[in-house]
Every structure is written in structure tokens, then in C-alpha cells.
Amino acid sequence: MEFGRHDRWRLPTAIKVLIAGGFGAGKTTMVGAVSETRPLRTEEALTQAGAQVDDLSGVERKLATTVAMDFGRITLRNDYMLYLFGTPGQERFWFVWDELALGALGAVVLADTRRLEDCFPSVDYFEKRDQPFIVALNCFEGSDPFTVGQVRSALGLEPGIPVVRCDARRRDSGREVLITLMEHAMRRGVAPVGTMS
């Protein structure tokens, strides 16, 4: 069967997705790893002035931080074009979350098991908004080998919220996380729309 002219030029559905989580959890890394285009980053160097407010325990080698957002794009199965917005992790930049969340289908909450408590605010934020989200355990070298069940219990997650392991540095791993989010959102009855708000 020949494809009609319409089929050949059909554009994928545009979907907005947030990548959230605590300071140093790997949000910028994940957006950069999966993006098909050069990612936009709004990183600034960590300075001595920020030492009073930035807890670097467990992420001592971190040299920069996102101050507004990260942005990237990935196409899944030629049907969906996901626009990825990485949120800033530090509390003093949380005021931009509401703007970034407008029109988003859902979110990935990246969790670093060395600093699991840092993802609590992200989980709380999406639960309060009743927005679909999943938790992705970013398996760093030296991270504690907590089980998915232990993390689910520690975060007090409802049984239907997926918790998956990932490596934010690997494109294929990040892609699987995004597919899991899409499937979860669709199970919740949140259908992708043709345009982003």
C-alpha cells in the first residue's frame, strides 16, 4: 500500500516533559544525553558566595548549576516529539517551576540515592498538581544499592507510580525512562495533545 501525501508529511505530536529532581541528581546530564539537538543550558559556575546555601555533600565534584532550565528535544517512534525542560534543583530557583510546568504532559523525577531526600520537593510538587510523574533512580558510581521497593517506601509513593533505574549519561537509558513516563501518562488518561501550551 502506498503512503498518501498526508502520511508522508505528517508531523509528530509535540509534547512538553519536565526533568526534575534535587541539586546534582543528573538533570542536565540526562537532557544532554538524550537530546537530538545541541541542548540549551543555563548553567553558572558554583562560587564561594553560594557555599553558604549549596550543600555539596555527595556531589563535591560539581562545578556548575542550572539557574533557569535546560532544554532538549527527542523524537520517539516518529510519533511524538518530546521537548524536555530540565528544572533547576536548588530551592532559590524553584520560582521558575510553575512557568516550566505549564502545559507539560508529565515529569521525570531523577533521584540520586546518595541524596534521596533532595527529590522529596519534586515528588510533592507533582503530587499536589496531580500531574503524572515517574521516579528514575540515577545509578551513580558509589550510589547506595537501594531496591526499587525501598525507594518507593522512603518516598511514600502510590503503587501506580513507576520507579525505574537509569544511567542519566546514557542515551538509551534516558530514552527508556521517557517511554515509561509516556506510557504512565497514557494509562492515567492524560493524552498527548497536538501543541504545547
pLDDT in tens, 140-176: 776 667 888 999 999 999 999 999 999 999 999 999 9
What is the total residue count of the chain?
197
The dihedral formed by the CA atoms of 174, 177, 178 and 179, expressed in degrees to the nearest 10: 120
CATH topology of domain 13-187: Rossmann fold (3.40.50)
Cα separation, 70 vs 140, whole angstroms = 20
Q: Look over the chain and give the mean of its residue pLDDT values, rounded to a whole number.
A: 80
pLDDT at 179: 95
Q: 78 — phi, psi (to 5°)?
A: 60, 5
Q: Give the predicted TM-score (pTM) of the model.
A: 0.78
Look at residue 41 in the predicted model and tell me its pLDDT: 61
Q: What percent of the chain has pLDDT over 70?
A: 71
pLDDT in tens, 99-149: 888 999 999 999 988 888 989 999 999 999 999 999 999 987 766 678 889
- For residue 109, the tally of other CB atoms under 10 A from its CB is 29
Among residues 88, 157, 154, which one has the least CA distance to residue 127? Answer: 157
The residue-averaged pLDDT of 77-82 equals 87
Alpha-helical segments (H) within 42-83: none
Taking the C-alpha atoms of residue 58 and residue 54, their distance in angstroms, rounded to an integer, is 12
